[in-house]
Structure 1
Amino acid sequence: MKRLLIIAIALISIQGIAQERKEGPNREQRTHRMSDLTPEEAATLQTKKMVLHLDLNESQQKQIYKLNLENAITRNDMMAAMKAKKESGSMEKPSKEERLKMMNAKLDHQIATKTKMKTILSKEQFEKWEKAQEKMHQRAVGMKKQEGKRKGDNQKK
């Protein structure tokens, strides 16, 4: 009877270990991978992806590349500023006003990008681009929820 109980416990614990979920690369690793690219490389890759997805013509490709390059340069500058703050040790949680200002700036940028895309793309291409943007947004929201669950799990242990 004792042996059966020990075997059952061993099988259950092995099954629990086998069920552990392997995590993919976390946000920092993905960000680090993208930060290795120059703004020109990032803009080129993004533009090529959009050419494949939206079937862009030459004129559209040039305009979108220019827009992607501007975005990549801005993103690169922001990441460098954040990295400098982090390394200097002056990284603090932003105040309510600062968070509001950052969110407003982000939304203004998104509105400007959407307006530019509307002028560059045809109606069908724009609709397809909007659907892709919505899908990316949903994926990001899902990832944030998963990260929150993982952090909660780690705090319980």
Structure 2
Amino acid sequence: MKNIIYALALLFTLNIAAQEGPDHKGKKGKRGMQKEMLQDMTPQQIATLQTKKLTLALDLSDKQQRQTMALQTEVATERKAKMEAHKAKKEKGEKPTKAERYQMMNERLDAKIAYKKKMKEILTDEQYTKWEKMQAKKGKGKKKSRGKRKNKER
């Protein structure tokens, strides 16, 4: 009888420990809040913030700041327009076809390649190496959060 009670108590405590914490119930994570805040900003505001972050991280010169600001504004404007178009399609209930998804992914990768080339022109070799490490670290964080989301859905 004692063994059954111990087993039930053990199972009960393990079940409680496996539950999600109170910070995950109905609340958005850090990335969700950032995404929501960025949606309310203009492309110019987003570009300004990103340029300042890069200036702090890479110690950019005035010329580099101006060039980065122009590039960030261009990218933020394009991203905002694509987000609006995607949102409009989603509200209509339209889903992209396989060919459209392929085209979107291809365009996104082309844009990343062009962005990387422009950053290489703007930054010094040392700054560019540091920037690449920052980008790689940023990408790893996205992969981890994506993995957590997939596990929750199961």
1:61-90 residue CA offsets vs partner (Å, 9 max, x unmatched) = 01101111111111111111122112223x
Q: Specify whether residues 84 and 46 from structure 1 end up closer, same or farther in structure 2 by C-alpha distance, changes over 3 A only.
A: same
Q: Among residues 50, 53, 58, which one is paired with 1:49 in the alignment?
A: 53
TM-score (norm 1): 0.82
Shift of 1:32: 2.1
Q: Secondary structure at the match of 1:21?
A: coil
Q: Match for residue 121 of structure 2?
A: 119
Q: Match for residue 19 of structure 2?
A: 20
Shift of 1:30: 4.0
Q: Which whole-Å CA distance do the structure 2 matches of 1:133 and 1:26 have between them?
A: 18
Q: Specify whether residues 29 and 86 from structure 1 end up closer, same or farther in structure 2 by C-alpha distance, changes over 3 A only.
A: farther
1:79-102 residue CA offsets vs partner (Å, 9 max, x unmatched) = 11122112223x21x222212211
- Unaligned ranges ≥5, structure 2: none
Q: Which whole-Å CA distance do the structure 2 matches of 1:28 and 1:97 have between them?
A: 29
1:91-126 residue CA offsets vs partner (Å, 9 max, x unmatched) = 21x222212211110111011101100110000000
Q: Match for residue 67 of structure 2?
A: 63
Q: Among residues 129, 132, 137, which one is paired with 1:130 in the alignment?
A: 132
TM-score (norm 2): 0.84
Q: Secondary structure at the match of 1:130?
A: helix
Could you tell which deviates more after superposition, 10-19 or 74-83?
Answer: 10-19
Q: Match for residue 152 of structure 2?
A: 150
- Unaligned ranges ≥5, structure 1: 153-157
Number of residue pairs matched? 149
CA RMSD, 1 decimal = 2.2
Q: Match for residue 43 of structure 2?
A: 39
Amino acid at match of 1:97: A
Q: Specify whether residues 122 and 81 from structure 1 end up closer, same or farther in structure 2 by C-alpha distance, changes over 3 A only.
A: same
Q: Percent identity between the aligned chains?
A: 42
Shift of 1:51: 0.5
Q: Which whole-Å CA distance do the structure 2 matches of 1:138 and 1:53 have between them?
A: 18
Q: Which whole-Å CA distance do the structure 1 matches of 2:35 and 2:86 have between them?
A: 12
Amino acid at match of 2:71: L
Amino acid at match of 1:31: K
Amino acid at match of 1:95: T
Q: Which whole-Å CA distance do the structure 2 matches of 1:97 and 1:17 have between them?
A: 46
Shift of 1:11: 6.3
